[in-house]
Amino acid sequence: MDNSKYRNKNRNRDNNKTKEMESSHNIKILQINLNRCRLAQDIMDRTTDEEEIDVVIVSEPYKTPSNWFRQRRAGCDLDHRKGKQ
């Protein structure tokens, strides 16, 4: 039985996975509880811009902007920010 075709197929698949991983970007995520504090939310906004955070998971926000995804039952909001491309 010739296993060379099977080995070559697996080798090609592994090489493709390596190329995908090399070209992928890291995602920066911030999880924070703001305790309904306006100042904390302002600092979070500034920090996420400075640190180029991609996704913010917010518990107890002071205010939920219209561009955030809100999950009312869980009491948390998500904000997707455009980071490095």
Q: What is the pLDDT of residues 25-81, one digit of tens each?
A: 788 999 999 999 999 999 999 999 999 998 888 888 898 888 777 776 655 566 665
Residue 3 CB contacts under 8 Å (≥ 6 apart), including other chains: none
pTM as predicted: 0.57
